[in-house]
Amino acid sequence: MKSVEKRGLMDNRPVAVVTGASRGIGRAIALDLAGAGFDIAGIDLALKTTPERAGLDGLAVELADLGAAFLPIEADISLLEGHGKIVTDIEEAFGRIDTLVNNAGIAPLERRDVLETTPESFDEVLSVNLRGTFFLTQAIAGRMIETAEAGDGFSSIIFITSISAEVSSVNRVEYCVSKAGLSMVSTVFADRLAEHGIRVYEVRPGIIETDMTALVKEKYDRLIDGGAVPLGRWGQPDDIARVVTSLACADLGYSTGTVIDASGGMNIRSL
């Protein structure tokens, strides 16, 4: 396990903000970062546990067991008017932000052929995955610059995009477009924030076993059996979490604007 404290990076505990922290990849990221010594601000749509959703309240218990302080924030990142309060709440709770993990994302409610994509679905997916994530990053980056310039830590922003930033799926163009756009957002923030020492990375997961892929599990089982993933298995949320923790702990400290593939080799073009 990575550890900021063992690596002597920080005097105080660093703080990571994780969007979409209730479940799936975001939850695994929050727990792995906490294990490495981060305190966590976790953002998601709802605090409460329901049968379908483990919720931020459940995460609070697990984070406490790891000795991490936790600020649960109930917010929809697509609502830009809420971003100011998110930053203020984190500021009041922790006084610093070292890492932002832009993980929250949605798939189209219904997969439809590109010839039948509706404007409503297009707008909805882009409002969360691209617009909401972009403006939340803009809102948080200002605070991160202050932390970075205090000079006692390592600052990073990590965008969870997808292989869909490059790989076409004809029945969910809005998702592919949102992730391709977010990939450029990552590049531009890397360019702009380098002078402040803030590293920016893009992580591209492949096929990961979460609620998001549960509806298409059989299709992906068949694809994996047929060899679509060179490493031959589903990815797990922890596979992505370990990459994120490595980045947040400065393992790639002389890199920024870098894309890290975490897809079991689906990035390989093969003849």
* Residues with catalytic roles: 175
Percentages of the chain per state (helix, strand, coil), in multiples of 5: 45, 15, 40
Using only C-alpha atoms, the chain has a radius of gyration, in whole angstroms, of: 18
By CB under 6 A, which span of 76-84, 113-121, 185-193, 222-230 interacts with ligand NAD?
Answer: 76-84
Q: How far is the CB of 262 from ligand NAD (least distance, A)?
A: 9
Sheet (strand 39-44) strand order: 70-74, 39-44, 15-19, 99-102, 156-160, 199-205, 258-262
Decide if residue 76 touches ligand NAD (CB under 6 A): yes
Q: Is 91 left (phi over 0), alpha (psi -120 to 50) or beta?
A: alpha
Compute the least distance from the CB of residue 183 to ligand NAD, in Å. Answer: 12
Distance of CA 261 to the CA centre of its chain: 14
Smallest distance from ligand NAD to CB 271, Å: 25
- The yes or no reply on residue 207 touching ligand NAD (CB under 6 A) is yes
Q: Residue 149 or residue 225: which is nearer to ligand NAD going by CB?
A: 225
Number of residues that bind ligand NAD (CB under 6 A): 28
Tell which positions 21-40 bind ligand NAD, by CB under 6 A: 22-26
Which is nearest to 29 in space by CA: 252, 247, 178? 247
Q: Tell me how far, at minimum, the Cβ of 245 lies from ligand NAD, in Å.
A: 16
Q: Which is nearer to ligand NAD, 5 or 89 (CB)?
A: 89
210 contacts ligand NAD (rule: CB under 6 A): yes
Nearer to ligand NAD, 10 or 80 (CB): 80
d(CA 233, CA 73): 34
Chain mean position to CA 63 = 18
* Structural element, H or E, at residue 180: helix 173-193
Residues lying near ligand NAD in the complex (CB under 6 A) are found at 19-20, 22-26, 43-45, 76-78, 103-106, 128, 132, 160, 162, 205, 207-208, 210-213
